[in-house]
Amino acid sequence: MRSLCTVLPLVALVAAVLVLWLPGDASSQGVPASRLAFVDVARVFKEYKRASDVQQETRVEIQKVELQLRERYEKLKKMRDDLDLLVPDTKEFNEQKRALDFEAFQLEYEEKQQKQAILANAVTKMNRVYTEIRREAENFALRNNLEAVFMMNDQEIDARSLEELQVLIASRPVLYREKARDVTDSILSVLNK
């Protein structure tokens, strides 16, 4: 992974280019600033009902898996308790230990597979939601004679490491925009209808 010293100059260069180009200098690029708009996509995902529904459905499905497997985990716990009553390194102990290890492996594998399938399905659904958001941004731009709608994120960066901070900073290309150009509410109102 790149060190902070090598990544920050790159981030600063990208930031400088964006600040020079957006939106005050947009007219020098042939696009008047009045034909630009910004959408806070993180906020749209947070407030768009379909995105919230996908997240809630995913939580419910994972809870169902955990409930379905709870009885087997209880059985596994009983097997561990029974094993503790046996004398180690005896034939009976070794047989029960093998059975316990196999059951534990099988149970963990099944739980992991089921949860991965649920999460993969959630990713597919959330990609569809993102496509809807992009389409509505495009439709909004066409209805309002806009040249571009930029994605932005005004939320504070909550990073737990320097590396995570670097990634989050690099993933936020819009460093400034005029508040009047924020069309998030307009797009959200159409999506949630």
Beta-strand pair 148-152/36-40: parallel
How far is Cα 53 from Cα 79, in angstroms, rounded to an integer? 39
**Amino acid 23: pLDDT:** 43
With a pLDDT cut of 70, the percent of the chain lying above it is: 83
Residue 73 CA, distance from chain mean position: 30
Tens-place pLDDT, residues 70-80: 999 999 999 99
Tens-place pLDDT, residues 25-49: 444 356 677 788 888 888 898 999 9
Secondary structure (3-state) at 37: strand
